[in-house]
Structure 1
Amino acid sequence: MALVLVAEPSVAVAGALRRFLEGAGHEVLVASALQEALERVRELAPVLVLSSVTESFDGEGLCRQVKEELPGTPVLLLYLPEEESPETRSASAGAEACLVGPLKRATVVSCVSLMIQLAKAREAVSVVRTEMQLLQHQGNRREATAPLSDLEFFKRLLFMEVKRSRRYRYPIAYLLLEPDRYAEKLASLPPPVRTSALAEMLRRISDGLRDIDVAVPFAEGRFIIFLPYTPYEGALVVAERLLQRVKQVESVQGLTASLGLAVFEPSAAKGQAQVSFGSLMKEAGEALRRAQASGGDRVEGRPVASEPAAPAASEPTETVVLDAAPETPPE
């Protein structure tokens, strides 16, 4: 059970958010004051901090303090409906995501669950990187793929996010990246050198992504990158950036890469077959092969649309309205 800290001065709003999250299986702790929230973060290290932002409640300041002391803790900021630039403000504060009220239960639960799962995925990536570095320093002759075999958690994450994006109608992007002329450039290198080069590639790829994006080695010399809440145009910008970052790898001179892109945009068109995790991976793989066949050092891909699914009859419609001037909580 994941501990989520809700920093919210309004008793009514905090109670609604607690019901939303506890109903989804999360453990919830509410802090009605900023200093109390910060003390609870230091004491309990919650898996996620959810904080309101109003004129009287500086959730952005809390976010900055949390990021300074515990930078790995994800923060979700909640803004009032009249806020004109929530994305810019939340990004400036260092938050991973933001929501604007009024807030539906399904939206809150979906966003919180996604952020928690991505945080776990990033921890798994960190373990992979550490093992690759150990291989490099110890001169171990095991193949670079040895520590990468346990990717089931990440695969489950991707599978689930396809279903969630179909349900809640937000875009997601998958990228498959592979170095060009792998057999010539990398496969022939001694295992420790190859491991070092792959580790450097992973580092440079990850440095070119947002905090909510995830990149992991998927197979020998191949990387998969997951971009939540990213439409085709945005994913294409990221893909072009990653190609340039591969060229910056110092351990292999003249290295380039090919990249296959598949983007699910639920609102793009009607009348097409439902998209699945497998179909997206197939689309990204075929796009990667087209990029390689065209000479490499390029991106191939296109949006993948699906027929909008009818809303479930049992979908909860409970919402919570953020309060700009909340009541004072009882002593």
Structure 2
Amino acid sequence: MPIQPEGAVILVAEDDPFMLRLLGQYLGQEGYQVIEAPNGKAALDLYVLHWPDLVLLDALMPGMDGFEVCRRLQAIAQGNPAPMLMITGLEDEKSVDQAFAIGMADYVTKPIHWAVLRQRVRRLISQHRLEIQLREANYQLQQQTLIDSLTQVANRRRFDEYLLQEWGRCVRDQVPLSLLICDIDHFKHYNDHYGHPAGDRCLQQVATTLKQGIHRPADLVARYGGEEFAVILPNTPLEGATVVGDRLVQSVQNLSLPHAMAPTTAVTISCGIASVQPSANGLPSDLVLSADQGLYQAKAQGRNQYQAICVLPNGTQPPFGAVMF
């Protein structure tokens, strides 16, 4: 892919004012935006302000040399910084090995051969941009494998992974974990009466409403299967989960989606809620089973409501009715 210099930002760290100005003028003429840093400390500060496409580092600077700047930029960028090109008068094997060992992408020697510098700058920026595009493409591909294509919420695979992950975390942190399983009431009758395209739109609207009804980044809405959705609420006791459950039931009802085949004449959901203090001896499936039992009770009680169950650490439940809401 040919590099387009316009818009590419290069951070130059050089303690020699004349060389700094010379590098800035040359790279500017090549079409790059140049940020000048007179020392290593300034380079670190300017890096987090501009997040450049390339860093040119003088190897020998007073106070903080180019090697130390490279190490610190690795930490700042969490091991994935912009490529760094060292400008050095050191040509000994040890210095070159050290530069590559700490993460330098390449180096040029003084006095600078400008044609060599030009080609290496273009190559490193081009590679950096391609790596960014590749990471973004891989991320998008990964997201597609974890998202339900119809409703655009997490799919069953993501639900299973996340529930297991949060179960382990809650065991370590000794905090509660809650789960909601929601089912669209009389959905088969809805599909039979309005048709499957309308049923798909109904699923999409309900999924969007459920997603809008959770407010913390750690909470997850997933399509559990068919017309069922699940909501994982980490670090949430039963009382907090029932607040969420009530809000979700009311929000779907407030959509006022017509459902001529339902007693309420509108689309509603039933919701089973379960909460547990996870333990190393317990299983996430205990929580799923209890939430499913809560859903069964909500439907048995007339639908368009939630029922909640507290699961004991050993996976059992208190006597029926003692903790139902």
**Superposition TM-score, scaled by structure 1 size:** 0.47
Task: State the structure with bigger RCO (CA 8 A, min sep 6), 1 or 2.
Answer: 1
